[in-house]
A and B are shown apart, each in its own frame.
Chain A
Amino acid sequence: MVRLPFAAAFVTSCAVLMLAAPARGHHSFAAEFDADNRVTLSGTITKVEWTNPHTYFYVDVAEEGGKVTSWAVEGGAPNALYRAGWKPTSLKSGDKVTIVGSRAKDGSNLANAISFTLADGRCLFAGSSGPGGEATTNCREATRR
């Protein structure tokens, strides 16, 4: 299932790994993403681009009935994530992850990450210039509407 309602249980189980969440303003968030159109993606990472000006995480999401949908998720600048404790290998191909993000306005399967939750419940900050950026201090806060 690609789009899920906000799941309080999932969020409260999310241990906070990153305390600092530096934002990076590379571009106008609102020109590309809709902060009011959120998506929750549970799936498997297929590729990671640890690149400037933004990181990208590609995730395959299995929907009910077996159909697999591929999504691209934009994360913060690698510099911001690195200083917040990420490493280029923090998320790898094959990792199971749940990502909450803001959808792209052009309707494509692209989202701007708000939070990443790993299979073991650990939560990684997105370092976004939109929701999930500097105003939030943990994943529970980041995913609150």
Chain B
Amino acid sequence: MMRGRAAAVLIMALLASIPAGAQWHGYPTPGMPRNADGTPNLNAPAPRTPDGRPSLAGIWMAPRIRVDLAQGLKQGETVPFTPEGRKIYDERRATNAKDDPGARCLPTGIPVRATLQTPFKIVQTPELTAILYESRTQFRQILTDGRPLPKEVDWPSWQGFSVGRWDGDTFVVETTGFNGKVWLDQVGTPSSDALTITERFRRRDLGHMDIEMVIDDRKMYSRPWSTFAQVVLQPDTELLEYVCEENERDSAKMVGK
């Protein structure tokens, strides 16, 4: 009896000594291939789903922060602004992006989400791939149930409408129906309601994924242009709560120059 009670106290003490957060951040990801020393083997082969597709599932993050999509251009490329696009971009640069909706906790541009060094989780099912972005608690649904991309959208939106398809081992996501309010990145690369984005996700191995993003917006850019992100799997962590509106004080202090 006493021994049982002592054991119970000991177990409770042990449980109490484990930080609750450790069961989210710091908990070893089940099924993770590991090296002999216990570290995750990020170079293991990319996993596949039961239907043979590459699985993109996992928590991903850029290893370095990039706030400017122009930093992800191919060598020799420049952003092909139209005069209108250039004007908006220059105004935003001149004021250090003080009017970025993202600073007010509104949605950020889809392309920059992959480069901001904030984690996002991909959940993949045959009919739907969801991307859960920790920052600002944003999510996207990429439908793979066979429906086509909408030709006309009567309610344009911040994040648009996304459908996905497989091109070999590459997951191709097309998104249209944007409202033109979103900034594509944090320096102010603009978008309009003419925007479509094509993303190509290719998981090279367990721990590394390339994302190519083609931006087609003939009001802001004279031709489609592409930028890229390389993201790394984040083992042994989980998405944590991020309530952006909780204490957003920056926007009132963003004087610009």
A30 to B187, CA, bound (A): 10
Contact string, B238-253, partner A, CB cutoff 8 A, digits 1/0? 0011111011111101
Closest chain B residue, CB of each to CB of A24: B118
Does A106 make an interface contact (CB < 8 A)?
yes
A31's contact among B134, B237, B241, B255, by CB below 8 Å, is which? Answer: B255
Q: Are A52 and B247 in contact (CB under 8 A)?
A: yes
Shortest CB–CB separation between residue B68 and chain A, in angstroms? 10
Q: Are A28 and B97 in contact (CB under 8 A)?
A: yes
Shortest CB–CB separation between residue A55 and chain B, in angstroms? 9
A79's contact among B64, B97, B134, B255, by CB below 8 Å, is which? Answer: B134
Q: How large is the interface on B (under 10, 10 to 19, 20 to 34, 35 or more residues)?
A: 35 or more
Q: Are B64 and A134 in contact (CB under 8 A)?
A: yes
Q: Are B256 and A31 in contact (CB under 8 A)?
A: yes
Does B202 make an interface contact (CB < 8 A)?
no
Q: Are B21 and A25 in contact (CB under 8 A)?
A: no
Does A144 make an interface contact (CB < 8 A)?
no
Does A113 make an interface contact (CB < 8 A)?
no
State which residues 222-243 of B face A: CB under 8 Å: 237, 240-243
Closest chain B residue, CB of each to CB of A104: B253
A31 to B186, CA, bound (A): 11
Q: Are A31 and B96 in contact (CB under 8 A)?
A: yes
Q: Are A53 and B247 in contact (CB under 8 A)?
A: yes
Contact string, B77-120, partner A, CB cutoff 8 A, digits 1/0? 00000000000000000011110101101000000000011100
Most chain B beta carbons < 10 A, residue from A31, A74, A129 = A31
Q: Are A31 and B243 in contact (CB under 8 A)?
A: no
Shortest CB–CB separation between residue B71 and chain A, in angstroms? 13
Q: Are B254 and A31 in contact (CB under 8 A)?
A: yes
A84 to B245, CA, bound (A): 23
By secondary structure, the A interface counts as loop
Closest chain B residue, CB of each to CB of A133: B65
Does B140 make an interface contact (CB < 8 A)?
no
Shortest CB–CB separation between residue B42 and chain A, in angstroms? 16
Q: Are A25 and B240 in contact (CB under 8 A)?
A: no
Q: Are A51 and B21 in contact (CB under 8 A)?
A: no
A24 to B118, CA, bound (A): 6
Q: Are A79 and B240 in contact (CB under 8 A)?
A: yes
Contact string, B5-41, partner A, CB cutoff 8 A, digits 1/0? 0000000000000010100010000000000000000
Shortest CB–CB separation between residue A63 and chain B, in angstroms? 24
Q: Are B25 and A25 in contact (CB under 8 A)?
A: no
B102's contact among A22, A27, A54, by CB below 8 Å, is which? Answer: A27
Additional A-B contacts beyond A28-B254, A51-B247 (8; CB < 8 A): A27-B254, A28-B98, A30-B97, A31-B255, A52-B247, A53-B247, A82-B25, A110-B253
23 chain-A/chain-B pairs, Cβ below 8 angstroms:
A23-B117, A24-B118, A25-B65, A27-B100, A28-B67, A28-B98, A28-B186, A31-B255, A32-B253, A51-B246, A52-B242, A53-B105, A53-B242, A54-B247, A56-B249, A77-B135, A82-B21, A82-B240, A83-B25, A87-B19, A105-B255, A106-B253, A129-B67
Name B's A-contacting residues (CB within 8 A). Answer: 19, 21, 25, 64-65, 67, 95-98, 100, 102-103, 105, 116-118, 134-136, 186-187, 237, 240-244, 246-251, 253-257
7 tightest Cβ-Cβ pairs between the two chains A and B: A27-B103, A51-B247, A28-B97, A31-B98, A31-B96, A31-B254, A30-B96
